[in-house]
């Protein structure tokens, strides 16, 4: 009978060890939920009207979200301008916006830091270029509430709904995932 107790005891102990190993191995394969923090690239297009001009804007850039709640948005923006009489021109800007961010549920709050914001023309400035810089710079420190649509290891997507009801979406691809 003593042999049976030892035999069953060894099997019981082996079973406990096996379950523990499976639990450890099973849990270690589980990955943590993706976080906003990281470096991303993006391409975005938008349009608006200002002072009788229509602007079609394309931008390509990088966005770096840091764990301390700061971010850096850097982009090259190309403005295709059509004025009231139909003439067209192109303005190119370098846009650099150190910013603050925070996440609350599915809302990502984002605001530029006005004193650190820079937007300069490539190839010289004119009156219209300065007007664009003034308008953009004048709203840079407003805290915008974006809806966080997607957050994965590869991508972050947010959207914003404007006062007039139309919405816009930005897709950020996490660095190292451009080919995915």
Q: Determine the Cα–Cα distance for residues 144 and 134; give it in Å rounded to an integer.
A: 18
Average pLDDT for the chain: 86
Q: What are the C-alpha distances in Å from 11 to residues 20, 26, 101? A: 14, 22, 55
- Distance separating alpha carbons of residues 138 and 143, to the nearest angstrom: 12
Residues 159-180 as b or e (16 or more Cβ within 10 Å = b) = eeeeeeeeeeebbbbbeeeeee
Bridge partners, 43 (sequence order):
60
Q: What is the pLDDT of residues 72-124, one digit of tens each?
A: 999 999 999 999 999 999 999 999 999 999 999 999 999 999 999 999 999 87
Residue 87 φ then ψ, to 5°: -70, 150
Task: Give the residue, 8 or 151, on which the prediction is more confident.
Answer: 151
Mention the CATH class of domain 38-174: mainly beta
Per-residue pLDDT tens over the stretch 49-75 = 999 999 999 999 999 999 999 999 999
Residue 88: CB atoms within 10 Å:
10
Q: Cα–chain-centroid distance for residue 67?
A: 13
């Amino acid at each position: 009978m003593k042999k049976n107790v030892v035999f069953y005891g060894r099997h019981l102990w082996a079973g406990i060890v096996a379950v523990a190993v499976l639990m450890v191995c099973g849990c270690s394969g589980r990955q943590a939920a993706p976080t906003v923090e990281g470096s991303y690239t993006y391409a975005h297009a938008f349009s608006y009207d200002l002072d009788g001009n229509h602007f079609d804007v394309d931008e390509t850039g990088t966005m770096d979200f840091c764990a301390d709640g700061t971010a850096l948005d850097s982009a090259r923006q190309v403005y295709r301008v059509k004025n009231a009489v139909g003439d067209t021109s192109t303005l190119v800007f370098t846009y650099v916006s150190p910013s603050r961010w925070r996440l609350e549920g599915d809302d990502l709050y984002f605001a530029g830091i006005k004193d650190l914001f820079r937007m300069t023309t490539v190839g010289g400035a004119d009156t219209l270029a300065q007007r664009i810089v003034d308008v953009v710079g004048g709203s840079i420190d407003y805290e915008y509430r974006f809806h966080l649509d997607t957050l994965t290891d590869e991508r972050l997507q947010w959207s914003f709904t404007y006062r007039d009801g139309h919405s816009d979406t930005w897709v950020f691809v996490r660095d190292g995932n451009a080919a995915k």
